[in-house]
Amino acid sequence: MFRFPSVLLSRRLHRRELSSSTTSHPPSLPLSHPIYLIWGSNTGVGKTLVSAGIAAAFLLSSPTPSQFHYLKPLQTGFPSDSDSRFVFNKLRQLSLIRNPHIPLSASHRVINVSPAVTASNPLAGEEGVGPPPELLCKTLYAWEEAVSPHLAAEREGLVVKDSAVLETLGECLEDVAECGAGKERSEVLCVVETAGGVASPGPSGSLQCDLYRPFRIPAVLVGDGRLGGISGTISAYESLKLRGYDVVAVVFEDHGLLNEGPLMSYMRNKVPVLVLPPIPKDPLNDLMEWFESSHYIFSNLKEIMLSAYFERIKKLHDMPREARDIIWWPFTQHKLVPDGGVTVIDSRCGENFSIFKVQKTEVIAPQFDACASWWTQGPDAIMQTELAREMGYAAARFGHVMFPENVHEPALNCAELLLQGVGKGWASRTYFSDNGSTAIEIALKMAFRKFSVDHGLIVHCHEDTTNERSTELMVLALQRSYHGDTLGAMEAQAPSSYTGFLQQPWF
Amino acid sequence: MFRFPSVLLSRRLHRRELSSSTTSHPPSLPLSHPIYLIWGSNTGVGKTLVSAGIAAAFLLSSPTPSQFHYLKPLQTGFPSDSDSRFVFNKLRQLSLIRNPHIPLSASHRVINVSPAVTASNPLAGEEGVGPPPELLCKTLYAWEEAVSPHLAAEREGLVVKDSAVLETLGECLEDVAECGAGKERSEVLCVVETAGGVASPGPSGSLQCDLYRPFRIPAVLVGDGRLGGISGTISAYESLKLRGYDVVAVVFEDHGLLNEGPLMSYMRNKVPVLVLPPIPKDPLNDLMEWFESSHYIFSNLKEIMLSAYFERIKKLHDMPREARDIIWWPFTQHKLVPDGGVTVIDSRCGENFSIFKVQKTEVIAPQFDACASWWTQGPDAIMQTELAREMGYAAARFGHVMFPENVHEPALNCAELLLQGVGKGWASRTYFSDNGSTAIEIALKMAFRKFSVDHGLIVHCHEDTTNERSTELMVLALQRSYHGDTLGAMEAQAPSSYTGFLQQPWF
C-alpha cells in the first residue's frame, strides 16, 4: 500500500581526508523554499523528535502536495543511531495513522560513511522507482562511534574538512531547490539537524555554530526543559546570537518545571517559546500518541517558520528600494547608482559577504570583499567570532565610560600595545579618537599648538582672542592625498575638486 | 579531638518579601583577600566538589594558618541538600586523614530559611566557643523544594529581592574581610558557589549571571565532561563573558571523552582548562580517594586563583600611574589632576560604576555615574546586557561592512526608527556618521552646498576650484555653545578662548 521508493546507501571513496572543492568559496544557499537549522541546547533534548514533528505537521495535514527535506549532516553512533532513519520511520507510521488511504512516498539516503561503518553496516539499498518522494531524508556523513564527530572522525579515518561539509550540504540544498522547482514557496520545507549542542565540534574540530556560519540559515533552538535547562537554553541561544544567527523559535519538552516562564521573560516576546508535552520514557513506546498530542504545537511552530521565511524574503526584496528612499550613502552620487546596483548584505563570514541575489532563482551567495571594505580588511571567520565575543564582553563590563581622569583595563592595554607596536621608538603617549577624520584634526591642533609655543605666540597673547595677528602658517600636504572629510582634514591636502571653494566656501 | 565550634541555624523573621536596604547602592566588595564565584555550565556538574577540593588544597596543606570561607547564597532542596554542609563535612573527613594531629576548626551557618524549611527542619545549633574557625561555611537563603530558586521562592513564601541577596552577600563578604583582618592576603580565600547553571534564575527570577554583576567577582567555571559538555561549557563561558565576567579557569570531570581538547583550542591558551579524575558514581563512596587523586589539580587551581588575584590587585594599583604616563585624556589639563585623582573603573552595572578605592582597606565600591558620562546616560543593568548581546550579534553577523550602495537590515531599521522618531515631520533621509563633531561638519557641508546651489554659485563655476570669488557667507551660532572639537565644528560657535587664533591659527 505504501510506496517507499528508496532506502539507499551510497558509498563514496574514502580518503584520509575528503577534499574540498578547488575554491574556498562556500556554496550558495537557495531561497526558493524555507530552510532551517535545528539546534539543540544540549545533546539528548529531542532535536530529532522536533524535526519529525515539524515534518508531520508540514506533510500530513497539508491540503496541497508538499515536500519535506530532512538533512542530517553529521551522524555518529551509526548505524544503530540514525536520526534520518528515525524521521523516515516515524513519518511512515504517522502517515499510516493519519492518512491511511494516501500513501506517503519517502526516500532515505546515506551519502558518506566512515570505514568502520562500511565494515559492519548491514544497510544497503537502491534508488527506487515510483512517484516523486514527499519526504526525503539524508545523512551526509556517518561515523560508528557514539562520540563527538571530531573524535569519531579522528578514530575512524573519515576526517572531513569544513569546506567539504559545506560543499556537500550545499549540494543537498541545491537538490532541495531542484526537487521543489515546480512547487510553491510554502509547499517545500527543509530542516538541517545539527549534532549535539550548538557549540559541539564538527569533524574538523570547528564548533558547529562556527562551521555553518557561511550559509546564514535561520535557526530553531530546541531547548532543555529539565532542571538547569533554563540556563542551558539561554546560554545556547547566546552562543547562536554571538555568531550572528537569527533564532525564530525556541521549543522544548515540558518536565513540569515551568521553564517557559523565565525563558519568555528573557526573550521579552521577541522570540516565541513553545512547550511540548512530556515525552514517554519507555523506549518501546512508538510515540504515536505523543505526536498526536504535540500536533498543535508543531503546527504552530511550522507556521512560525513559514511566516519568518516569508518575512525574510519580503525584506530582502524590499531593502534596496527602502535604502534608496531613506538613506544617504557616503561618497555616493545617488543618481549614478544603477537600478539593481544596491547590494543587499545579509551577513559576513571572514572575507566573504553573504549577499542576496536574484538570478535564475533567489540565493544567498558568497561574495569576496575585494574592496576590503575600502579602508580595512575584515578579520578571518574565527577572529570575527572572537572579536564579537570581546565586544560583547567590553560592552557588558563597561558600557559607556567617560574617559577624562579615568582609567580602565582595555584602554590601558590598548595604549600599551600601540606604544609597543606602531608607536615604538617615537611615541610616548596615546590619544584616543573616534574616527580618522577627527584624529587628523586632533593632530593638526596639536601641531598648531606646538607651532604657537615654539614661536612664542602663546606667551605674548595669552587669552587674547581678538588680536588678529598675521602669522605665516602652512600645512604641507601630499597631492591626491585623502585624510578625511571634516573641513580641517580636507584643507590638509593639496587643492582638488574636493577642497575648493565650492565644497567649503566658508574657509 | 576535633573542635567544630558551631553548627548553627539562625532564623530571621520572614516577611512575604525581605526588604532591601533603603539605598539601591549595592554593597562594596572587599579586596583584602581573594574572592571567587564558582559557576557551573549545568546543574550537577560538581560545583560543590570543586569548592570542597579548593578548600582542601587551600586549608589542609598550607604551612601557615589559613582561613577558607565557603558561601552558598541560594540553596534549594534544603535541608536534605546542603552544599555548605557537604563542604563542611568533607573537609572534616579530609582533615582527619591528612592532618590527624591538627584539628580543623570549622563553623557552619544557615542564615535565612523558607517557612517550609522551618516547619520540618531538624537542624539547630548554637554559637560555639573555641579557636577562631579555619573553615567557615554559610548558606544565605534556603528553600525546601529541589527546584530553581525562583520557583521555590514563589511556592514557599520566601521571596527575596536581588538587592537583598546582594546585601546579605555583601555582609558575608565583609565578615570575610574582618575575620581575615590580621592575616596575609594569601592566607584567606573565599568562594561563593552559585546555584544550577550560569543563567539559572535567582529567587526574583533574575538570572544569576545578571544578579551578581554589580560585585564584579572573578569566576571559576565548572564545565561539563559528558557528551554534549563541550557545547554546554563553551556556551556557559560565553554567557559569563557577555556579562563582563573574567573567568580565570575552567575545570571539569573527565568522562573519557577528551573534552579538554576542543575546550583548550577554543580558549586559545588564554584560560587554563583543568581535568578532574572521574567521580565515583556510588552514592555511598565517601570520595576520600577521589579527593586524594584530585589533590594535584586542585592545588594547581588554587595557585591559578591566587596568582590571578595578585595580578588583579597589582593592576588596580598600577593603573592610575600608568594611565598618567601613557594616556592623554581629552578635555583635561593633566597638570591639574591631583595625585589620587585618577578613578580606576573596574566595570559598570546600570548607573553605577564599580571603582577601585583604597580607604581603610581596598574595595571595589559602587559609584553613581552622576555626570552621566558627560554626554549620555548609560542604560539600566538589564538593558546593558541586552545591548552587549546585540552588539555581539551585529559584530558576528556583519563585522565590517562598507556602506556605499549597500544595505543591511540593522542600518535600514535604524534609519526607519530615526525617521519615525526624532526626524518625524521634517526629515526624509538619514546619513550616518561616526561621532558628533563629524556630524556637525557634515551638516555644515550640506548647508554650504545648499547655499551654493541657491545662489547659483555651482552652475557658473563648475569645477573651477581656483576662482577665488568672494561670497558673503555666515554661520549663525549660539554664545557659549559647543558642537564638537574638529576645526569646522569649533568655528561654528561664538568666539571664545577655544575658537580664537591661538587654538586654530590656520583659519
Inform me whether the pLDDT recorded for A14 exceeds 70: no
Please provide the average confidence, as pLDDT, over all residues in chain A.
88
* Residue B342 maps to a domain: no
User: If you average pLDDT over residues B472-500, what whole number do you get?
Assistant: 83
Main-chain phi, psi angles of B7, to 5 degrees: -125, 105
Using 50, 70 and 90 to split pLDDT, how confident is the model at B52? very high
- Please determine, for residue B11, whether its predicted confidence score (pLDDT) is greater than 60: no
Statement: residue B401 has pLDDT above 60 = yes
Cβ–Cβ pairs < 8 A, chains A and B: 465
Cβ of B404 within 8 Å of Cβ of A445? The answer is: no
Nearest CA in chain B to A230: B200
Quote the CA–CA distance of B331 and B290 in Å, as a whole number.
59
pLDDT in tens, B479-488: 888 888 898 8
Tell me chain B's radius of gyration from C-alpha atoms. Answer: 29
pLDDT digits (tens, 9 = 90+) for A225-235: 999 999 999 99
Q: Is residue A197 part of a domain?
A: yes
Q: Which of A321, A322, A407, A457 to mutate to test the interface with B (most CBs of B within 10 A)?
A: A407
pLDDT digits (tens, 9 = 90+) for A83-142: 999 999 999 999 999 888 888 899 999 999 998 886 655 454 434 556 778 999 999 999
| Domains identified in chain A, total number | 2
DSSP A201: B
Between chains, do A234 and B199 touch, taking CB under 8 Å as contact?
yes
From the CA of B316, how many Å to the nearest CA of chain A?
A: 9
User: Which tens digit of pLDDT belongs to each residue from B87-129?
Assistant: 999 999 999 998 888 888 999 999 999 988 866 554 544 345 5
Query: Is the residue at A10 inside a domain?
Result: yes
Minimal Cβ distance to B405: which of A342, A471, A496: A342
Nearest CA in chain A to B466: A500
The answer to the question of residue B223 being in a domain is yes
User: What is the distance in angstroms between the Cα of B302 and the nearest Cα belonging to chain A?
Assistant: 24
Distance of CA B299 to the CA centre of its chain: 25
Q: Determine, for residues A228 and B196 on separate chains, whether the beta-carbon distance falls below 8 Å.
A: yes
Provide, rounded to the nearest whole percent, the portion of chain B with pLDDT above 70: 88
What pLDDT, on the 0 to 100 scale, is given for residue B303? 98
> Which residue of B332, B405, B413, B462 to mutate against A (max A Cβ within 10 Å)?
B405
Which of 212-231 (A) contact B at CB < 8 A?
216, 227-228, 230-231
Is the Cβ–Cβ distance between B296 and B58 less than 8 Å? no
Q: Distance between CA atoms of B302 and B308, rounded to whole angstroms?
A: 10
Interface contact B437-A442, CB threshold 8 A: no
DSSP-derived letter for residue B339 is: T
Q: Do B235 and A230 touch (CB under 8 A)?
A: no
From A164-173, A329-338, A413-422, the region with the lowest mean pLDDT: A329-338
Here the CATH number for the domain that contains residue A308 is 3.40.50.300
Separation of alpha carbons B176 and A200, rounded Å? 40
CA-nearest residue to A206 within chain B is B262
pLDDT of residue A127: 46
Q: Is residue B273 part of a domain?
A: yes
Residue B155 has pLDDT above 70, yes or no: yes
pLDDT in tens, B206-234: 999 999 999 999 999 999 999 999 999 99
Residue A374, chain B, CB below 8 Å: the answer is: yes
Provide the pLDDT confidence category of residue A13 given band limits of 50, 70 and 90: very low
Contact B487 A486 (CB under 8 A): yes
B208, closest residue in chain A (CA to CA): A231
Contact B147 A442 (CB under 8 A): no
- Domain of residue A461 covers 433-491
Res A9 pLDDT > 50: no
> CA angle, B316 as apex, B314 and B321 as ends, to 5°?
95
Residues A153 and A294 in one domain: yes
Interface of A with B in 142-161 (CB under 8 A): 146-148, 150-151
Q: What is the DSSP letter of A27?
A: P
Closest by CA position to A486, among listed B458, B401, B483: B483
Residue A467 pLDDT exceeds 70: no
**pLDDT confidence band for A470 (50 / 70 / 90):** low
State whether residue A198 sits within 8 Å of chain B by CB.
Answer: yes
| Pairing mode of beta strands B343-349, B352-358 | antiparallel
pLDDT digits (tens, 9 = 90+) for B311-340: 999 999 999 999 999 999 998 999 999 988
Cβ distance of A393 and B266 shorter than 8 Å:
no
A465-504 residues touching B, CB cutoff 8 A:
465-469, 471, 473, 475, 485-489, 491, 495-497, 499-504
Set of chain B residues whose Cβ sits within 8 Å of the Cβ of A320: 407
Mean residue pLDDT across chain B: 88
In a domain, A253, yes or no: yes
Structural domain includes residue B428: no
Residue A432: its chain B contacts at CB < 8 A?
327, 330
Structure confidence by residue, pLDDT tens digits, A35-75: 999 999 999 999 999 999 999 999 998 777 899 999 999 99
The one-letter amino acid code at B233 reads: T
A412 touches chain B (CB under 8 A): yes
* pLDDT at residue number B471: 67
Chain A hits for B373, CB-CB cut-off 8 Å, are 400-402
Chain B residue with CA closest to A374: the answer is: B402
Statement: residue B428 has pLDDT above 60: yes
d(CA A252, CA A223) in angstroms, rounded, equals 5
Q: For chain B, report the end-to-end CA distance as a whole number of angstroms.
A: 87
Q: Report d(CA B29, CA B25) in Å as an integer.
A: 12
B121–A contact, CB cutoff 8 A: no
Q: How confident is the model at residue B474 (pLDDT cuts 50, 70, 90)?
A: confident
pLDDT at B255 over 90: yes
Give the least confident one: A37-51, A206-220, A485-499: A485-499
**Beta strand pairing status for A29-30 and B219-222?**
unpaired
B40 half-sphere exposure, CB direction, 13 A CA radius: 24
- Picking from B344, B403, B469, the nearest residue to A407 by CB comes out as B344
For residue B23, pLDDT over 50 is answered with no
User: By the 8 A CB rule, do B384 and B369 touch?
Assistant: no
Query: Per mean pLDDT, which range of A270-279, A354-363, A485-494, B323-332 is the poorest?
Result: A485-494
C-alpha cell at B325: 604616563
- What pLDDT, on the 0 to 100 scale, is given for residue A502? 67
Q: Is A368 on the interface with B (CB under 8 A)?
A: no
From the list A412, A444, A465, the residue facing B501 with the nearest CB is A465
pLDDT value at B29 more than 70:
yes
What digits encode the pLDDT tens for the residues A413-439?
999 999 999 999 999 999 999 899 999
Q: Kindly state whether residues A311 and A441 are assigned to the same domain.
A: no
Does position A312 have pLDDT exceeding 90, yes or no?
yes
pLDDT of residue A456: 81
Phi and psi at residue A208, to the nearest 5°: -60, -35
Q: Is residue B150 part of a domain?
A: yes
pTM for this predicted structure: 0.93
pLDDT value for B458: 66
Q: Which region among B71-80, B281-290, B358-367 has the lowest average model confidence (pLDDT)?
A: B358-367
Most A CBs within 10 A among B245, B315, B339, B506, hence the mutation to make, goes to B506
